[in-house]
Chains A and B, each alone.
Chain A
Amino acid sequence: MTQRPGEAQLPHLFKPGRIGKFATRNLIKYGACCVSNYNGRDGTVTPRELARMRVIANTGCGIITNQGAYPDPRGEGKAYFRQVAIFDDRFLPEFELIARYIHDGGALAIQQILHAGRYGGIDLGYCVQPSVVPQTLPHFRPPREMTKDDIRLCIREHAEAARRSIKAGFDGTEVTSFMGYLLANFNSKFTNQRSDEYGGSTRNRGRFMRELIDGMKQATPDHPVIIRLNGAELMDNWGGNDEDECFELMGQAVECGVDMISVTVGWQEAPESSIGRDIPPGHWNYLAARAKKSFPGTLIAFGNRLPDPGMANDCIARGEFDYWEVCRPLLADPEMVHKVAEGRQEEVRRCIGSLNCLSRLFRDLPYTCTMNPALGHEVEPEYAVTPATVRKKVMVIGAGPAGMECALTAAKRGHSVTVFEKSDRIGGSLLGYATHDLARPDDLLSVIRHYEVMARKLGVEVRLGTEANAKLMRSLLHQFDACVVAAGAGIDLDHYDRLEGRERLVDALDVARGRAQAGKRVVVLGGGKVGLVVAESLRKRGAEVAIVEEDKRLAGDVMPSFKWRHSAWVEELEIRTFLSARATRITAEGVHVASAKGETFVPADTVIAAGPRKSNQSLFRDFEWMIDELHGCGDALMPRGLDAAIQEGYRLGVRI
Chain B
Amino acid sequence: MLAAAAIEDVAAWQRLIDGYAPLFDPLADGAAVGLAARFFADAGGARRAAAMPSTPPLPMLVWRKRGGRMVVQAGAYRGLDGLGVDLVFLAGDGALAAVLARAEHPLGEMKRQLRAARIQFFVLRTKRELADLGYEDFVEALGLPFLGACR
Given contacts A134-B80, A135-B123, contact A358 B148 (CB under 8 A): yes
In B11-69, the 8 Å CB interface with A consists of 19, 21-23, 25, 42, 45, 47-49
Question: Is the CB–CB distance between A596 and B22 below 8 Å?
Answer: yes
Pick the interface stretch among B1-9, B70-78, B106-114.
B106-114
Given contacts A134-B49, A571-B111, contact A362 B147 (CB under 8 A): yes
Is A580 in the interface zone, CB < 8 Å from B? Answer: yes
Question: Is the CB–CB distance between B144 and A137 below 8 Å?
Answer: yes
**B contact residues around A266 at 8 Å (CB):** 151
**A contact residues around B149 at 8 Å (CB):** 137, 139, 268-270, 362, 564
Is B93 in the interface zone, CB < 8 Å from A? Answer: no
Question: Is the CB–CB distance between B150 and A355 below 8 Å?
Answer: yes
Is A141 in the interface zone, CB < 8 Å from B? Answer: yes
Given contacts A133-B49, A577-B108, contact A139 B151 (CB under 8 A): no
CA distance A355 to B149 in the complex (A): 10
Closest Cβ of chain A: how far from B106's Cβ, in Å?
A: 12
Given contacts A275-B151, A580-B22, contact A237 B116 (CB under 8 A): yes
**B contact residues around A580 at 8 Å (CB):** 22
Q: Is the interface of A mostly helix, strand, loop or mixed?
A: loop
**A contact residues around B140 at 8 Å (CB):** 553, 563, 567
Is A9 in the interface zone, CB < 8 Å from B? Answer: no
Question: Is the CB–CB distance between B148 and A135 below 8 Å?
Answer: no
Chain A residue nearest to B114 (CB atoms) is A271
Question: Is the CB–CB distance between A271 and B145 below 8 Å?
Answer: no
**B contact residues around A140 at 8 Å (CB):** 123, 127
Chain B residue nearest to A553 (CB atoms) is B141
**A contact residues around B21 at 8 Å (CB):** 596
Question: Is the CB–CB distance between A139 and B147 below 8 Å?
Answer: yes
Closest Cβ of chain B: how far from A521's Cβ, in Å?
A: 16
CA distance A140 to B146 in the complex (A): 10
Closest Cβ of chain A: how far from B122's Cβ, in Å?
A: 4
Is A142 in the interface zone, CB < 8 Å from B? Answer: yes
CA distance A391 to B127 in the complex (A): 52
Closest Cβ of chain A: how far from B132's Cβ, in Å?
A: 12
* Binary per-residue interface labels of chain A (241-272) against chain B in the complex, 1 for a CB within 8 Å, 0 otherwise: 00000000000000000000000001111111
In B90-143, the 8 Å CB interface with A consists of 104-105, 108, 111-112, 114-118, 120-127, 130, 135, 137, 139-141, 143
CA distance A348 to B80 in the complex (A): 51
Is A19 in the interface zone, CB < 8 Å from B? Answer: no
Question: Is the CB–CB distance between A134 and B124 below 8 Å?
Answer: yes
Is A372 in the interface zone, CB < 8 Å from B? Answer: no
Given contacts A141-B126, A268-B149, A362-B150, contact A553 B137 (CB under 8 A): yes
Is A276 in the interface zone, CB < 8 Å from B? Answer: yes
Question: Is the CB–CB distance between B144 and A564 below 8 Å?
Answer: yes
Is A414 in the interface zone, CB < 8 Å from B? Answer: no
Chain A residue nearest to B124 (CB atoms) is A134
Question: Is the CB–CB distance between B112 and A571 below 8 Å?
Answer: yes
Is A361 in the interface zone, CB < 8 Å from B? Answer: yes
**A contact residues around B105 at 8 Å (CB):** 576-577
Q: Which of B108, B118, B126, B130 contacts A571 (CB 8 A)?
A: B108
Question: Is the CB–CB distance between A125 and B126 below 8 Å?
Answer: yes
Question: Is the CB–CB distance between A567 and B126 below 8 Å?
Answer: no
Q: Which of A142, A363, A561, A597 contacts B126 (CB 8 A)?
A: A142
**A contact residues around B137 at 8 Å (CB):** 552-553
Question: Is the CB–CB distance between B150 and A138 below 8 Å?
Answer: no
Question: Is the CB–CB distance between A276 and B151 below 8 Å?
Answer: yes
**B contact residues around A359 at 8 Å (CB):** 148, 150
Q: Which of B49, B143, B146 contacts A138 (CB 8 A)?
A: B146
CA distance A179 to B147 in the complex (A): 15
* Binary per-residue interface labels of chain A (354-370) against chain B in the complex, 1 for a CB within 8 Å, 0 otherwise: 01001101110000000
CA distance A175 to B140 in the complex (A): 33
Question: Is the CB–CB distance between A567 and B143 below 8 Å?
Answer: yes
Closest Cβ of chain B: how far from A577's Cβ, in Å?
A: 6
**B contact residues around A553 at 8 Å (CB):** 23, 137, 140-141
CA distance A269 to B141 in the complex (A): 17
**A contact residues around B112 at 8 Å (CB):** 571-572
CA distance A359 to B146 in the complex (A): 12
* Binary per-residue interface labels of chain A (216-240) against chain B in the complex, 1 for a CB within 8 Å, 0 otherwise: 0000000000000000001001110
Q: Which of A133, A275, A576 contacts B48 (CB 8 A)?
A: A133
In A155-172, the 8 Å CB interface with B consists of none
CA distance A382 to B21 in the complex (A): 50
Given contacts A567-B143, A576-B105, A580-B22, contact A136 B121 (CB under 8 A): yes
Q: Which of A137, A237, A239, A274 contacts B145 (CB 8 A)?
A: A137
CA distance A135 to B121 in the complex (A): 8
Is A193 in the interface zone, CB < 8 Å from B? Answer: yes
Q: What are 8 A-B interface contacts by the 8 Å CB criterion?
A: A136-B122, A179-B151, A239-B42, A271-B116, A276-B151, A359-B150, A560-B150, A596-B22
Given A138-B126, A570-B108: 13 more A-B contacts, CB < 8 Å: A131-B49, A133-B49, A134-B49, A135-B123, A137-B148, A138-B146, A179-B151, A193-B47, A237-B116, A237-B117, A359-B148, A560-B147, A563-B140
Residues on A lying within 8 angstroms of B by beta carbon are 125, 131-142, 179, 193, 234, 237-239, 266-276, 355, 358-359, 361-363, 552-553, 560-561, 563-564, 567-568, 570-572, 576-577, 579-580, 596-597
Which 7 pairs show the lowest CB-CB distances between chains A and B? Answer: A362-B148, A237-B117, A561-B150, A567-B143, A134-B122, A132-B49, A552-B22
